[in-house]
Amino acid sequence: MDASELVEKYKAGERDFRGAILKGVDLAYEEFKDIDLQGADLSGANLYGAILSRANLSKANLSKVNFGNTAMANTNMTGANLTNADFKEAYLEGVDFSGADLTRADFSGANLYNANLETATVDRTLFRGAYTAGAKLPRLY
């Protein structure tokens, strides 16, 4: 599936895209509220400025995805592969990152208010200037 097909189906009312292969797609500034992309492969995709509120991205391959400036309030990212993902300046209020791999992800300037990162892997993950009030953060030893 390519970006235009996904956008067309979404605008027609479809929300279930579980397991979709969307490697490297450009979905910048698109709106996908309540979309179900569980187990999908969006590795290398550009989602800059997109709206993904209440989306299900659990167990998805989201490595090297550009989530810069995205709005993702209350999104489910449990168990997702987010290695090398870019979340700079993203709005991530209430996002559940439980069990996600955030190795080398960049959350610089992101809003993580009430986000759950408690059981996420955070190896060389950047949180420079991130807002973390109310967030459940992992134990760092």
DSSP class of 89: T
- Contact partners, residue 125, CB within 8 Å, separation at least 6: 102, 103, 104, 105, 106, 107
pLDDT tens for each residue of 43-98: 999 999 999 999 999 999 999 999 999 999 999 999 999 999 999 999 999 999 99
CATH topology assigned to domain 1-141: Pectate Lyase C-like (2.160.20)
Q: Are 32 and 50 within 8 A, CB to CB?
A: yes
pLDDT at 141: 54
pLDDT band at 140 (very low <50, low <70, confident <90, very high): low
- What is the pLDDT, as a whole number, of residue 139? 74
User: 4: which DSSP letter?
Assistant: H
The mean pLDDT value for 29-34 works out to 97
Provide the pLDDT confidence category of residue 138 given band limits of 50, 70 and 90: confident
